[in-house]
Amino acid sequence: MNDHALKNRAGTGASENPQSYAMYAATRKRRKDTRHRKAPNTEISELNITPMLDLMTILLVFLLMNFAQSTSNVNVANLTLPYSASKLPVEEALTMMVTRDGILVDQRLVTRFDEKGGLAVADLPDGPNGYLIRPLYDALQARADHFKRIEEFGGTQFIGRIAIIADKGIPYAIMFRVLYTAGRAEFGRFKLFVQKP
């Protein structure tokens, strides 16, 4: 019998038949106790961690976005940045360093300067008056191809942004060749790092 049927039977004759009312009350109490006993067990046995994973993913994306937009500190023993009062925000970009010893792309040495601080003739395929630096071009082209493959698989769009960290004593002729080579390798959006006075 269900609760409704017991209640109807017990309600009509509670004063006439106390035994049926006692059975109704006992059955109702037993069912109520059974419901209360089962409820905590079902909550503990089925722990849903999906909201916690969603929260962790949101926090991770937030931290990565803030890290990409934070200022960058550049500490290289053989590098002195020029001074500037510019306050442009730092954007995510491929890093290239031009020190007094050579050129580095993503912390890897691409080419060394000679004893006089100039480029080796072997690194200039168009001769001493050429602008293209072959080892730098090859390294940047490999990075551009890598970023394009990431874009094909749903990653961020490749826009050719490069951050150039150059020593203030580097001759303009070398910097012009570096910028020309970067542009030829599809890195045409330059950001030059400076230090605050």
Residue 170's pLDDT is 84
Residue 113's pLDDT is 87
Residue 141's pLDDT is 92
Same domain, 37 and 81: no
Same domain, 113 and 165: yes
Same domain, 7 and 100: no
Whole-model pTM above 0.75?
no
> Which residues, at least 6 apart from 180, have a Cβ–Cβ distance to it below 8 Å?
131, 132
Quickly state the pLDDT bin for 77 (edges 50, 70, 90).
low
Mean pLDDT of all residues belonging to the chain: 76
Q: Quick one: which of 155, 143, 66 has its CA closest to 106?
A: 143
Contact 110, 104 (CB under 8 A): yes
Same domain, 122 and 183: yes
Query: 112-141 pLDDT, tens per residue?
Result: 888 887 888 888 888 888 889 999 999 999
Query: Rounded distance, CA 94 to CA 110, Å?
Result: 14
Query: 11-51 pLDDT, tens per residue?
Result: 554 556 777 777 888 888 887 777 655 545 545 566 778 88
Domain span at 41:
3-45
Question: What's the average model confidence in pLDDT over 65-80?
Answer: 55
